[in-house]
């Protein structure tokens, strides 16, 4: 059974399916072996790729490939500058994540929980990087005093805990979200 046939029958997101998505994406981006290995091991990338499947979205495989590709573009030297946080992104936590928040159908609770894990990782990363970003003059909404990281983290944590999802936690749980790093 092909990955596409599997997708039509399941909301399971296996290691084999993730490997298939990474391999297809790697070919498209002509990735070297090391970047491919790092991408496959990265929990953030895997959650981004898994969300359309876990939520049972229409066109889940297409959406998974699109979102994984956007994640890759945000990592690559020639395009990552276009994905850095700017003051224009301060309006909401979702602003920077909009390109990977486009879903057709699917369980809204599963999608919200997954996106909340990604938001939590993003805000925890900003909090962790405050001093470094101030030294390097990299824009950081927590360092700029625009976002209250502790308050945001507490709200996201409560929302995530209120909506358990065992399979999603196997990809990235609450603690991994807080401790994890966004980039490959």
Phi, psi of 90 (to 5 degrees): -70, -15
Question: Please, are residues 66 and 99 in contact by the beta-carbon 8 Å criterion?
Answer: no
Q: How many CB atoms lie within 10 A of CB 139?
A: 15
Phi, psi angles (nearest 5°) of residue 58: -70, 145
Neighbour tally for 172: CB within 10 Å: 22
pLDDT category at 1 given cuts 50, 70, 90 is very low
For the cut 80, the answer to whether the pLDDT of residue 39 exceeds it is yes
Count the neighbouring beta carbons within 10 Å of the beta carbon of residue 117: 28
Query: Percentages helix, strand, coil for the chain, rounded to the nearest 5?
Result: 70, 0, 30
Q: How high is the pLDDT of residue 177?
A: 97
Cα 40–chain centre separation = 13
- pLDDT grade for 12, boundaries at 50, 70 and 90: confident
At 52-97, the pLDDT tens digits run 999 999 999 999 999 999 999 999 999 999 999 999 999 999 999 9
C-alpha–C-alpha distance, residues 21 and 135, integer Å: 38
Which residues neighbour 66 within 8 Å (Cβ) at sequence distance 6 or greater?
102
């Amino acid at each position: 059974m092909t990955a596409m046939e599997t997708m039509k029958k399941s909301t399971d997101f296996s290691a084999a399916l993730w490997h298939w998505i990474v391999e297809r994406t790697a070919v498209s981006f002509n990735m070297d072996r090391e970047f491919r290995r790092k991408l496959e091991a990265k929990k953030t990338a895997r959650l981004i790729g898994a969300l359309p499947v876990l939520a049972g979205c229409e066109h889940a495989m297409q959406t998974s490939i699109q979102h994984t590709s956007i994640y890759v573009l945000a990592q690559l030297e020639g395009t990552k500058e276009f994905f850095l946080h700017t003051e224009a992104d301060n309006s909401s936590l979702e602003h920077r994540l909009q390109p990977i928040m486009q879903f057709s159908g699917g369980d809204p609770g599963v999608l919200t929980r997954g996106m909340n894990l990604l938001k939590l990782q993003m805000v925890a990363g900003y909090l962790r990087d405050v001093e470094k970003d101030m030294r390097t003059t990299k824009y950081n909404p927590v360092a700029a005093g625009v976002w209250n990281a502790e308050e945001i983290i507490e709200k996201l944590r409560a929302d995530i805990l209120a909506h358990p999802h065992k399979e999603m936690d196997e990809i990235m749980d609450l603690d991994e979200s807080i401790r994890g790093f966004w980039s490959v």
